[in-house]
């Protein structure tokens, strides 16, 4: 059966997992890196250029390293039917080519210090044009290490919608200003670049976990 993403997350239907030393933890460490912005037409990707002291370790011991991150408005995943106004997907890859994505929700509020590092460069990026270098991107202000997560197996949410992707979604949202959201909307060709929700129950044996720190 298809195992597509995104999905609606119902906290009452998740299987609780406590992350401790006896059962194995999900460990997320994100350092600093240079990168470059690429405008793909319907979205922006910030490609990770080195800095692979950053790692996502899953409970089964597999390790994934970041390769790029990008954004959607509104959020593609929802919680109890609610979409957040903005989200980030941090795409990781293992040595054998498997993919894992860390999803971060944003709610409207204070300006995102993280986005402010490179957000003004979005207006300079031309669709399918030259890449724009970004120096010393740091994730400290997001504070997504040692968080609680939702986790399930799904797919990429952009073509070719590859399945077998491990999703790790940070439970608590961060903040982004209305002006920052508008900056993003101003430079994408539509008011939304989010894929429609996909059914969770239609995938035989698919389980949604909540991993508490």
- Dump pLDDT digits (tens) for 96-117: 999 999 999 999 999 999 999 9
Domain 8-212, classified CATH 3.40.50.1100, yes or no: no
Mean pLDDT to the nearest integer, 12-21: 70
Answer yes or no: is pLDDT of 24 > 60.
no
Continuous segment of H or E residues that includes residue 182: helix 178-186
- Determine the Cα–Cα distance for residues 184 and 44; give it in Å rounded to an integer: 9
pLDDT reported for residue 203: 47
Residue 47 predicted with pLDDT over 90: yes
φ/ψ bin of 158: left (φ > 0), alpha (ψ from -120 to 50), beta (otherwise): beta
Name the residue with tokens 């197996």. 153
Helix (H, G, I), strand (E, B) or coil at 17: strand
**What average pLDDT does range 14-36 have in this prediction?**
73
Question: Does the pLDDT at position 13 exceed 90?
Answer: no
Percent of the chain with pLDDT over 90: 56
Q: Is 85 within 8 Å of 107 (Cβ atoms)?
A: yes
| Domain range annotation of the chain | 8-212
What confidence score (pLDDT) does residue 22 get? 44
- Give CA 45 to chain center in angstroms: 12
Closest CA to 156 of 96, 70, 73, 29: 70
Which pLDDT band, with edges at 50, 70 and 90, does 59 fall under?
confident
What is the reported pLDDT for 23? 46
């Amino acid at each position: 059966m298809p195992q597509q993403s995104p999905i609606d997350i119902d906290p009452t239907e998740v299987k609780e997992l406590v992350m401790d030393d006896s059962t194995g933890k999900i460990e997320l460490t994100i350092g600093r890196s240079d990168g470059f912005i690429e405008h793909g037409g319907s979205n922006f990707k910030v490609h990770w250029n080195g800095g692979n002291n950053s790692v996502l370790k899953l409970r089964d011991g597999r390790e994934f390293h970041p390769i790029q991150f990008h954004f959607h408005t509104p959020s593609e995943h929802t919680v109890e039917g609610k979409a957040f106004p903005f989200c980030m997907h941090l795409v990781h890859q293992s040595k054998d080519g498997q993919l894992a994505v860390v999803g971060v929700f944003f709610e409207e509020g204070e300006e995102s210090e993280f986005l402010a590092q490179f957000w003004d460069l979005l207006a300079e990026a031309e669709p399918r044009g030259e890449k724009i270098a970004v120096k010393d991107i740091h994730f400290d202000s997001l504070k997504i290490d040692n968080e609680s997560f939702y986790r399930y197996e799904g797919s990429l949410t952009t073509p070719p919608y590859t399945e077998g992707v491990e999703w790790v979604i940070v439970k608590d949202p961060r903040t982004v200003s209305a002006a920052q959201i508008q900056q993003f909307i101003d430079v994408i060709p539509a008011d939304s670049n989010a894929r429609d929700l996909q059914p969770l129950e239609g995938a035989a044996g698919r389980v949604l976990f909540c991993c508490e720190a």
